[in-house]
Amino acid sequence: MIIDPSIIPFILVGGGIIFLFIFFHYVPFFLWLSAKVSGVDISLVQLFLMRIRNVPPHIIVPAMIEAHKAGLSNITRDELEAHYMAGGHVERVVHALVSASKANIELTFQMATGIDLAGRDVFEAVQMSVNPKVIDTPAVTAVAKDGIQLITKARVTVRANIRQLVGGAGEDTILARVGEGIVSSIGSSENHKSVLENPDSISKLVLRKGLDAGTAFEILSIDIADIDIGRNIGAALQIDQANADKNIAQAKAEERRAMAVALEQEMKAKAEEARANVIQAEAEVPKAMADAFRRGNMGIMDYYRMKNIQADTDMRASIAQPDNGSGNCEIK
């Protein structure tokens, strides 16, 4: 196959472009030049080996330049590469180390990489150490001893504790502890007026409890932003208790009434039974009299004498119980 001599220059130019592209990809010459100008000791071979190890030089070299310019000469290229290959954020770590150095905060490279690999933003933590963060708590509801409900909002000023960032609790724990302290402080108050007059007593009591123990933050201050009066919980509880007592009393009264009705019915039944017994006994009297006549134990005069006594008894009963409640009785 014969190649046209006129296209050979184009082939050479294309091949040269492809070669330069591959060369500058694996050998980042301009990064090396930038590092040399900045005073960072790194060779083209090391940059080439970074590409072979799948470590991007455009991340490692600027980080080395930044650390060198900030006076952090103890940070080596191998340490940065190892941290990147471990899944860390090299830029954040270097930014944090530079900021900590300028702010006179003690932060070593091992501590910074450990914080970064733990999933926390080490650069943000350093910034919070320099500029404390204000956290607004949600509305906290508590009840004083007099039964008045108070709704409180607070602002917590915290500073990052670098040494506790690994393994320390986060903002949610701080908010929960502060809320618990506010509830305890208001609950121990004799009345809600004392809380409204001295809201700083809440923050002082909460601060004395050391709520930042075991957390990644140091509480600098707790300020009560707002206190609102809610419901009268004590009165509501008393009303509920009174209603419950009333219902219990009504139930007991209904029980006693039912027992009284049952006893009344029982007494009526016993009275009817006694009345039936009396009637039955009265029915036996004529039989006894007839038997007495047959035996000769009773004469005719005895019988008429008994009838006379019975008539007198009926007359006295009619006088004692006048007809139709008139109170008058005529004796003929």
- Whether residue 1 is predicted with pLDDT greater than 70 in this model: the reply is no
100 is a domain residue:
yes
279-319: per-residue pLDDT in tens?
888 788 788 878 887 877 777 777 778 788 878 888 887 88
| Boundary residue ending a domain (107, 130, 153) | 130
Average pLDDT over residues 150-158: 89
Q: Rounded CA gap, 144 and 233, in Å?
A: 9
149 bridge partner residues: 143
Q: How confident is the model at residue 248 (pLDDT cuts 50, 70, 90)?
A: very high
Higher pLDDT, 197 or 134: 134
Do 218 and 193 reside in the same domain of the chain?
Answer: yes
| Boundary residue ending a domain (186, 206, 233) | 233
Do 181 and 74 reside in the same domain of the chain?
Answer: no
Give me the count of residues in the chain. 332
The number of distinct structural domains making up the chain is 2
170-202: per-residue pLDDT in tens?
888 888 988 888 888 888 888 888 888 888 888
242 is a domain residue:
no
Q: pTM, whole model, 2 decimals?
A: 0.56
76-123: per-residue pLDDT in tens?
888 988 998 888 888 899 999 998 888 888 888 888 898 888 888 888
Average pLDDT over residues 230-237: 80
Do 175 and 124 reside in the same domain of the chain?
Answer: no
DSSP calls for 178-198: HHHHHHHHHHTSS-HHHHHH-
Q: Is 136 helix (H, G, I), strand (E, B) or coil?
A: strand
Q: How confident is the model at residue 50 (pLDDT cuts 50, 70, 90)?
A: confident
Q: Report the half-sphere exposure of 120 (CA within 13 A, side-chain side).
A: 28
Query: What kind and span of H or E run contains 153?
Result: strand 148-160
Place of tokens 């943000």: 124
Q: Rounded CA gap, 44 and 29, in Å?
A: 7
Q: What per-residue confidence (pLDDT) applies to 3?
A: 62
Q: What per-residue confidence (pLDDT) applies to 169?
A: 82
Compute the mean pLDDT over every residue in the chain, rounded to the nearest whole number: 82
43 is a domain residue:
yes
CATH code, domain carrying 220: 3.30.479.30
Do 148 and 108 reside in the same domain of the chain?
Answer: no
Do 90 and 140 reside in the same domain of the chain?
Answer: no
Mean pLDDT lowest among 13-17, 45-49, 59-63, 213-217: 13-17
Q: How confident is the model at residue 205 (pLDDT cuts 50, 70, 90)?
A: confident
The domain in which residue 143 lies consists of 133-233
Q: How confident is the model at residue 31 (pLDDT cuts 50, 70, 90)?
A: confident
Letter string b/e over residues 57-75, b meaning 16 or more CB atoms within 10 A of that residue's CB: bebbbbbbbbbbebebeeb
Do 206 and 100 reside in the same domain of the chain?
Answer: no
Q: How confident is the model at residue 41 (pLDDT cuts 50, 70, 90)?
A: confident
| Boundary residue ending a domain (202, 233, 264) | 233
Tokens of 318: 């009619």
Nearest partner of 252 among 265, 244, 263, 264, judged by Cα: 244
Q: What per-residue confidence (pLDDT) applies to 10?
A: 67
